Chain A
């Protein structure tokens, strides 16, 4: 029969097996599909990481998307934002999602909007927080899987005090 020492080794082996089983789930759970920025931002804390998680290696082209931000914002706490995508929004040709990525916010992914043919028109308006003068990028994924983007430079006089400074 097994000695206590051997049992300990077996326990360790079992424990490492459990860890091994849990690990891929953790990796899969990283927000490559639906990055809800408020919840799981660990992998998304750089603009590059955010872009990577959205594109997953696919190329993106400039065009079809129009991001509207004022050229100058006095107050970064609330900046009006409109994003439009040139799409017929038909059953076969529509916009799947639109991601907004900030260059300087502590959490670069501002929001993700999920659309479909039922949305009728690919136009969304909201108000965003911006932590300083920067470039904001809107990325749209169409139903054929292609990515399109628009980037806008905005000067923010008073940054939203996102980092507590």
Chain B
């Protein structure tokens, strides 16, 4: 699974950090049939979490209602310089992660 994270490199203490994550994933609904009429099993990223300096700051429970190649944009309050790490897992137990480093000034 390829994924991309976009975070500004520097932030001021107490300010906001915008986190944008894009994950390449089909988010199979389980309602689709292939050319041979076989049902494609449901496979979605059902759990997504974001940790900042090792502490969970944001979590999402997702379903087939989230579009393929899920995109998420959310905010995190800048506290200390550290890694913003996002992890997720799908129903075939395939997990992935991306991380970015943020330097907090002031």
Whether the Cβ atoms of B61 and A129 lie closer than 8 Å is no
* Besides A78-B67, A120-B16, 9 new A-B residue pairs in contact (Cβ under 8 A), listed by A number: A37-B63, A109-B63, A111-B61, A117-B77, A118-B76, A119-B76, A123-B73, A126-B70, A129-B65
Please measure, in the bound complex, the distance between the C-alpha atom of A146 and the C-alpha atom of B78, giving whole angstroms: 27
Residue tally, chain A, CB below 8 Å to B? 42
Whether the Cβ atoms of B60 and A111 lie closer than 8 Å is yes
Q: Which residue on B lies nearest to A118, using beta carbons?
A: B57
Q: Which A108-164 residues sit within 8 Å CB-CB of chain B?
A: 109-121, 123-130, 160-164
- Taking CB atoms, residues of chain A closer than 8 Å to B17 are 120
- Indicate the size class of the contact surface on chain B: 35 or more
Residues of B contacting A: mostly: strand
- Taking CB atoms, residues of chain A closer than 8 Å to B44 are 38
Please measure, in the bound complex, the distance between the C-alpha atom of A38 and the C-alpha atom of B32, giving whole angstroms: 15
- Taking CB atoms, residues of chain A closer than 8 Å to B62 are 37-38, 110-111
Q: A111-B65, A112-B60 are in contact. Are A120 and B77 (CB under 8 A)?
A: yes
Whether the Cβ atoms of A107 and B65 lie closer than 8 Å is yes
A60 close to chain B: CB less than 8 A:
no
- Taking CB atoms, residues of chain A closer than 8 Å to B66 are 110-111, 126-129
Q: Which A60-78 residues sit within 8 Å CB-CB of chain B?
A: 77-78
What are 14 sample pairs from A and B whose C-beta atoms fall under 8 A apart? A36-B63, A38-B46, A38-B61, A38-B64, A109-B63, A111-B66, A120-B77, A124-B72, A124-B74, A127-B66, A128-B67, A129-B64, A161-B32, A163-B31
* B85 CB to nearest A CB, Å: 14
Q: Which residue on A lies nearest to B90, using beta carbons?
A: A38
Whether the Cβ atoms of A36 and B73 lie closer than 8 Å is no
A48 close to chain B: CB less than 8 A:
no
Please measure, in the bound complex, the distance between the C-alpha atom of A107 and the C-alpha atom of B79, giving whole angstroms: 37
* A78 CB to nearest B CB, Å: 4
A46 close to chain B: CB less than 8 A:
no
Complex interface: stretch among A1-9, A11-19, A22-30, A98-106: A98-106
